[in-house]
Amino acid sequence: MQSDTHFDTWTIVFLIAAVQGCFVAFILFRWRRGDRQANRLLAALLLLFSITLSEYVFYWSNYILVFPHVARLSDQLPFLFGPLVYLYCRTIYEGRPLKKSDLWHIVPFIIAIGVLLPWYALDAGSKRAFLEGKADFPVMRLWMRVLLWTRIAHMLGYAIGNFRYLHRQPRVGVTTPWSFWLNTFFTCFVLAYTSYFILVRFPFFNSAWDYHISATMTAFIYLIAYSGYVQPAVFDGYQWTEPNAPVKYRNSGLTPEASRSLLQNLNLLMEQEKVYHDPDISLDKLANALNASKHHVSQVINEHLGASFFEYVNQLRVEEARQLLAETSRNDLHVIEAAYAVGFNNKVSFNAAFKKATGMTPTEYRRNHGQTDVASGQPGGSSSGQ
């Protein structure tokens, strides 16, 4: 490697893109609106691409000899690209928080770093000697080849897996094209990265072709920056297709199709399992049963059903209580028994919710709509109904 340092047009373009990528990553990481987890995953992805692009610029401009510790700093970062794209897409579609079980995504990266520890442990002089061709690399060539093709297989696997994941998700307006574009640009980078290490083995290869990897990274960085500029919803984490959604839920990340799908699951759960019978039912319990975020469940109930969580649960309980009171007599089922049967745990709250929904007390409702007790010959079994 020659020792003279210089920038050409392309390296300047790539350096500017790397700096801008770091800036956008910083903005995203600090962004307080919308889904902060999604923003930070996207920021991490941008930052890693920017670091990789910066190292390439250092290499082509020969500044790598001035700052030898930069060399191979980004070699194993591709092990993180695919997982970050996947976790970002999963966040904007499902709203699931990151858990300890998600750490397995970074295991290959940690292993790869461990293999390269002998290189990272070298001092600047030893690294510079290798870069100038005066010393051997401290890791066996076989291991480096294994790492290279493992990186490529890892990225290809995630690119394909991400597309399969996205195809299984509901079509959610412009958010779907955004997620597909994001993974498409990632896939283009993977293909460019792979093609370089294949073409380099042929005699017609031109070392300048190495630039096409950086060109795809530059395009990736500007895709995110431009998308965030023309459509702030990218950074806010909510659907692009509902600009008139209530302000309270503009940052929820729940798209229209996902909202309707969650509503269907909610209705099905209530009809089949009648979870509202549980007197201790809570929004957390309901969200766990639906495998959804409690904020999204609350949003669906508010927007589609026009009620709060407890109002919705009480509506279901009162509706079933009305049927029970209409189909049974006092001898068959006392009012308090009906209350307990549908999920109320005391008569006061049952009476209050029932009267709010029907304009009558449970006793009055049974008197007007219930079956006749044989013993008394009167609707509800007595004039008092108590």
Asked if residue 386 belongs to a domain, the reply is no
Q: Which one of 187, 205, 236 terminates a domain?
A: 236
Domain total of the chain:
2
* Stretch 344-354: mean pLDDT: 87
Asked if residue 374 belongs to a domain, the reply is no
User: In 3D, which of 193, 163, 166, 217 has the Cα closest to residue 45?
Assistant: 217
pLDDT at 202 over 70: yes
Same domain membership, residue 314 and residue 232: no
Same domain membership, residue 147 and residue 92: yes
**pLDDT at res. 173:** 52
Same domain membership, residue 157 and residue 267: no
Q: What is the pTM of this model?
A: 0.60
Angle (CA) 83-85-91 rounded to 5° is 100
Same domain membership, residue 99 and residue 23: yes
pLDDT digits 0-9 by tens, 63-80: 999 999 999 999 999 999
Q: 155 or 250: whose pLDDT is higher?
A: 155
Same domain membership, residue 139 and residue 26: yes
pLDDT digits 0-9 by tens, 110-132: 999 999 999 999 999 999 999 99
**pLDDT at res. 172:** 53
- Residue 170's pLDDT band, with cuts at 50, 70 and 90, is low
Residue 157 in tokens: 């696997």
Sort residue 359 into left (φ over 0), alpha (ψ -120 to 50) or beta.
Answer: left
Same domain membership, residue 35 and residue 137: yes
CATH number at residue 120: 1.20.1070
- Residue 54's pLDDT band, with cuts at 50, 70 and 90, is very high
Asked if residue 375 belongs to a domain, the reply is no
CB 362 within 8 A of CB 351: yes
Q: Which residues pair with 379 in a beta bridge?
A: 372
pLDDT at 238 over 50: no
**pLDDT at res. 19:** 92
CATH number at residue 289: 1.10.10.60
Asked if residue 378 belongs to a domain, the reply is no
- Residue 246's pLDDT band, with cuts at 50, 70 and 90, is very low
**pLDDT at res. 274:** 92
**pLDDT at res. 372:** 57
- Residue 231's pLDDT band, with cuts at 50, 70 and 90, is low
**pLDDT at res. 161:** 96
Residue with tokens 């695919």, as numbered in its chain: 82
pLDDT at 180 over 80: yes
Same domain membership, residue 282 and residue 192: no
Asked if residue 190 belongs to a domain, the reply is yes
* Stretch 48-76: mean pLDDT: 92
State the average pLDDT for the chain.
82
* Stretch 78-98: mean pLDDT: 88
pLDDT at 24 over 90: no
Asked if residue 251 belongs to a domain, the reply is no
Amino acid at 212: H
- Residue 307's pLDDT band, with cuts at 50, 70 and 90, is confident
Same domain membership, residue 154 and residue 31: yes
Same domain membership, residue 263 and residue 229: no
Asked if residue 42 belongs to a domain, the reply is yes
Domain that residue 286 falls in: 256-369
**pLDDT at res. 382:** 38
Q: 225 or 1: whose pLDDT is higher?
A: 225
Q: Which one of 208, 236, 264 terminates a domain?
A: 236
Same domain membership, residue 262 and residue 174: no
* Stretch 199-211: mean pLDDT: 71
Same domain membership, residue 201 and residue 269: no
CB 238 within 8 A of CB 245: yes
- Residue 137's pLDDT band, with cuts at 50, 70 and 90, is very high
Asked if residue 318 belongs to a domain, the reply is yes
Same domain membership, residue 196 and residue 297: no
**pLDDT at res. 34:** 64
**pLDDT at res. 242:** 38
